Structures are given as C-alpha cells and as structure tokens.
Amino acid sequence: MKKIMLVLGLCLSIFSLSFGMGEKKEKVAVDTIKVMTFNVRNSKDSTTEIDGKFNWGARQNRMIDFIKGENLDIFGTQEAFYDQIQFFEKELPEFASVGVGRDDGKTKGEHANIYYRKDKYKFMDGGTFWLSETPEKVASVGWDADLTRIATWVRLEDKTTGKRILVFNSHFDHIGMTAQEKSAELLAKKSIEITGGKEDAVIVLGDLNFERSNTRSYWAFRRNYNDCKMISIEEPKGVNYTYNGFWKSPVEEIDYIFINNKMKALNYGQFPVIIDGIYLSDHNAVIATLELLEQK
C-alpha cells in the first residue's frame, strides 16, 4: 500500500475540503466547485541529475494518484511541457484540457493548462494570450520579463445548473517586477473584456511569482478579485508557503486562487504533498472549495 504523507495533517484537511453543508447537501453538491492550482515542475529540468529522487519519472504516477484522489472539478497546472500534458490527458480521461505551449502557441515550451471534469461542464470558449504589451502576438515577451509568459482561459457552463464560470490559469515571470504588476493588470483587463459584462463567475489560478508583500502586484489583483486564503469561511489549512524548492531553497508564498464576487470560498489550503517519500513538486498543491452564488 502506498504511503501518503500530506504535511501538517493534510489528510484531515482534505476531508474538510470535501465536506457538505448541513441540511443543504443536495444544493451544495451542485453549486460547489473544488479547484486546485499546482506548479508541477517541468520535465525538462526535472532530471535525476538535477532533482535527484524527485525527478519527473519518479513523480508522474504519484501525481496522477493524488489528482484522482482529490475529486477535483477544475484544476490548473503550470510549467508542464508537452510530454507532461500528453501524460495527464492519457491518465486523466475524465478531464478535458485547454492550453498551448508558450513558445509557439502549439506544443513548444511550458504550458499553463486548465483541466475540467467533462461530465460536469460544457466547454463554451477559451484561448491563450501572452503576458506582454502585445498579448495576441505568439511568444512575445513583456516589459522586464526574463521569459515568455502566458495566460490560458476557458468559459465553462455547468451541465446541471446552466451557471457559467470563467477560469484563468497563468504563470507570471519570476524576475521582472514590472512584468508581474503589468501581467496582473492585463489579466484583470482581459477578464472584463471576455466576460463582456455578463454574470460569469471568475476564478484565477496560478503561480504568480510574487508574495503578498509585493503590494503593487498583489493589489493589481485585489482591486478586482478576492484572495481565497483571506476570505475562506473556514480557517485556511496547511502551511504558510507554496514554494518548497524540494527543501533546497528558501520557501515562498507565490501561488494563488482568486475569485470575483460571484462566488465565495468555503475552505482553502496549501499543502506540500509527499507520497512514498517523494515530493510531488517543488511547489505545494493549493486547493479550495468554492460556492457559486446566484447568477442573473
């Protein structure tokens, strides 16, 4: 039997993330969404020489076991290369995937894919834009960014309720502070353009590469979205960081789930996940249960 250790009582935390709400069990089962953002550490750099026993080959099947065990509705991954995307699509047939490679708009380079449960959601539309002054230009690099960066989006409709959700997933630059701030502003602007004033609920997932102390970037988001960690009805679970560096680097809190005012966060957690002594990534899984509010 696999030994799974979810740090700081994750087993208990994951149970609480999946709970029902009193006498309204039937409604909650329909109107709640369990979401996750997870930087999965790219396969190109996750070799035995670089990552040792935490290499992608050692992590990949354990990653699938973890995802399947979480009963997620929607999740976003960052850093995955095309071979990883193909692996996820093969091993997780219950999910549909939206996303492209950042270097050519097809398969080259890192992806920021969004996965959604096919039996629950109908795909309406989706796409990718580049985090730059020319967001429609494939492989464009923005501001003082060190690398090409993208945001993926998808509009989904719940097959049971007809409610619509607009989901974004992104991985901001790790160097350029101006790029981080401008990327946040661009993503917020794009979400307004894409909703077109409609009543869509909006979820933003991502490794945004800034901490909350970087107020310029953080508040570029907070002016438009709520930080699930800060508004969770239940006390946030897990640890106070989201980047663990396989314990070779200082920890940081740089991965987020944001939502607009069309939903609320029932619970939230940040969890380093270890299976058989193997860290699933150099980032933690960030998980929240959200409740959709009434849409006009």
Reading the chain (296 residues) residue by residue, the pLDDT tens digits are 455 455 443 443 333 343 333 333 333 445 899 999 999 999 999 999 999 999 999 999 999 999 999 999 999 999 999 999 999 999 999 999 999 999 999 999 999 999 999 999 999 999 999 999 999 999 999 999 999 999 999 999 999 999 999 999 999 999 999 999 999 999 999 998 998 767 789 999 999 999 999 999 999 999 989 999 999 999 999 999 999 999 888 999 999 999 999 999 999 999 999 999 999 999 999 999 999 998 66
- Measuring CA to CA, how many Å separate 70 from each of 8, 11, 44, 67, 223? 17, 11, 26, 5, 31
- DSSP letter (8 states) at residue 20: -
Alpha carbons 218 and 97: distance in angstroms, whole number: 28
Domains for the chain: give ranges and CATH numbers: 4-292 (3.60.10.10)
Alpha carbons 191 and 186: distance in angstroms, whole number: 9
Q: Is the pTM of this model over 0.85?
A: yes
Beta-carbon neighbour count of residue 22 at 10 Å? 7
Contact 249, 206 (CB under 8 A): no
Of 58, 56, 66, the closest CA to residue 86 belongs to 56
Alpha carbons 39 and 251: distance in angstroms, whole number: 14
Q: Tell me, what amino acid is at 250? A: P
Q: Greatest CA span in the chain, whole angstroms?
A: 54
pLDDT digits (tens, 9 = 90+) for 105-136: 999 999 999 999 999 999 999 999 999 999 99
DSSP-based three-state secondary structure for 75: strand
Signed CA dihedral, 238, 67, 31, 26: sign only:
negative
Phi/psi of residue 142, nearest 5 degrees: -105, 145
